[in-house]
Structure 1
Amino acid sequence: MVHGTGSVGHPVTAPFGAPPAAPTACQARHHALRTFRWHRGDPGDPAELLSGFLAGNGLPVRNLGRTDDKKKTFGDGTICGAALYVSADAGCVMAGAELGPPSPVPCVPDVYAVVYEHFSKKVEKSVQTGSEWKLGAWQDSWTRAEHAHAVEQVRAAIARGDVYQVNVVGHAAAPYTGDPSAALRRVAALAGARYGGVLRDEAWALATASPETLVEVRDGRVITRPIKGTRPATAQGRRELLASAKERAEHIMIVDLERNDLARLPGTGPVRVDELFAVREWSGLWQAESVVSAPLDGDVGLADLLRAVCPGGSVTGAPKLAALAQIAALEPVGRGVSMGALGWIGHDHVDLGLSIRTVVADGTRVHAWAGGGITADSDAIAEVDEAAAKAGPLRSALSS
């Protein structure tokens, strides 16, 4: 069922914090006005239903190619934008791909949007009054041996010619008691979190420390910044990442996939690679990032954009639909809030991060996901260790 309206006037800035990618001018100055929810199995096209909801609330999502013409100043009570979350499952529906196992967090919608109205006076943060946060032991949804076996199955599929690369993701959960807000804020504040923030509803709250741009539209250009390739953030780790033929080949394969995704958008001009294999740091890890962009010369709507880029190429593989079929068969637990999209829809821009490095608290357990891209040259144990390295900062922040 689609819900076009929700509670009015409830601030979402406290005690959890601002939603991912919310503009600085809006943070602590906006109130939740209306919400949209769509769950896997609900009727209708989620991309179109979402676009209709946002357009009905005054956001210019039917033509994103003229974002430089939409800058405005917000007065009290005006719509300043919307926070948006799209799950990997919703992305599969939009792409016409095979769905995997259901989410371990079914209370979280697969598409969730919150429209905000702006106020000049800052919303005062409420005092945290919940009980003390205590985190229990983590339980992985598969063993290291099972994870390694999945890597080998992907390598076999590559050898058969079924796919070129597949991103394999594992899940873990830990019980908790008490108020999760401070722990979630610690996740959102991890170093390198370009999309650090918190999004919540009555029954759940998610926090992201994602460094990766799934898609951005600003000043008439559409941009994606795929990340692929990981090493410890040491001098030796940097040298290893730059020298790794395997990591570079994996990275370039995803860059080509993202170029193709942008080229499929109606109304785009020539796609170009603005930066290739630049090394950036995220919370103790080096990661390789590229920048791919294209001008938007014609009418491009948000629904078109989501169908073209979701689910993100760096967390699926190539070819995308074939990789998603492998993922559906191999992963024992749904991707939940991970490997989707989350960010901000404004009057003059769209900025959606990929929901990697993302956790969710559902009232009794906190959930986290991590994985990596598998190629013909992958070493199974090294891939399992890489996933653990990516999950490490999240677990540390939650348990601090």
Structure 2
Amino acid sequence: MIVMKFGGSSVADAERIRHVASIIKAYKDKRPIVVLSAMGDTTDHLLAAADEAVAGRVDISCVETLHRQTAAALGLGEKALKDTESLLCELHALLTGISMIRELTKRTRDYLVSFGERLSVRIAAAFLEQEGVPARFYDAWDAGFISDSAFMNAELCDEVWNTIPEALAAYKNGTQKEIPFVTGFIAKDKKGNITTLGRGGSDLTATMLGAALGAEEIQTWKDVDGILTADPRIVAQAKTVPLVTYEEAAELAYFGAQILHPRSMAPCRKAGIPVRVKNSYNIDFKGSLVVEKHEGELSPVRAITAVKNSTLIDIVSTRMLGASGFLAHIFNLFLKRDISIDVIATSEVSVSLTVNTGADLSGLVEDLRGIAETQVKTNRSIVTLICDAAHSSSILASAFAALAKENINPEMISQGASKVNVSLVCANNLADKTVRTLHAAFFE
């Protein structure tokens, strides 16, 4: 048994659903369980419709048009069309209610966005059935997904380790022949309210299914040949990384690579289930495998990522020399403003750190300047080497030798506590050049 997860772009229209169906058919002997996101931009359209409803207008034309046209283009039968229309009517009724009370609560928002995934699994499962492969759609709660009531960012309850195998027992033991199509991203709390699992929710659905059912592996399907040594839009010579650890994959995801969301790796790591990143346009290629630990000899650097448009904050205070509360005081100011820190480097009297450019820093900077000299530099990029930091001396020597030849001088250096990453901060306009220079030094 395997789990196959496809994102929204993979099921964006009728053509893409046909392609996904062909992949699933190629793997049907592996007894797959399929996890789908909402089609294309459906979630964005649903949220836009919610804004309209709060303003008193009910309009789901974008959602209706996409799903009706897709169902028609796939030639779906009467039952599938009825299932789709039933959900669209329910959605219209919900938005009508929102338009009458002019209010959108977090609970209602989760109910609203759930329609995207619920529509996609019904259409895709019906098409595969029509193609001669037995299939059945499941809303996540029918597959055993129970969460807490933290709407918009719910966490799965511990009992899902039991409820998922119970709900899918017939498929696991082989008596059920229909391939399950399960909605990603959503669940229900113990009161029966629909919840969403927050960032990486569909990834979490896939890994939880694989872990709870003891799958052979969990596959996440992309449009590239697995995890690459760099963004191919920046480095044309980027290569596939055949093997990374869960820890390395989490760091890659934190620093910009589109793999599995870090929070979704906990279930598969707990159960020891490997994750494979595959290319939906090159299905015979093995892709990249994410496992607990490496075996054999490996390159000291696995991959290079870049996150652009960060803000660098330098904080210096000689008055706080030797003061035990210096860092605590600084971090409390960030906590007060609910601003998270990405990377950090410290010394006795200074701290350099980066934050997301989208954060409102006006009040924070004023507070910081009350205790220290503070300099804010926008338009910065974090370039990260995912590597074996046990060899950090040789890695940094090679990196800085290459950067010196190109006259690139990083403004900050930080080594992660996980010992699998070293990050450099540079100006945005140097980011691509920095990535290409480092890639040439380590991979070409």
Higher helix proportion? 2
What TM-score do you get using the length of structure 2 for normalisation?
A: 0.22
What TM-score do you get using the length of structure 1 for normalisation?
A: 0.24
Instruction: Decide which structure has the larger Cα Rg and report it.
Output: 2
| Larger RCO, structure (CA 8 Å, separation 6 or more) | 1
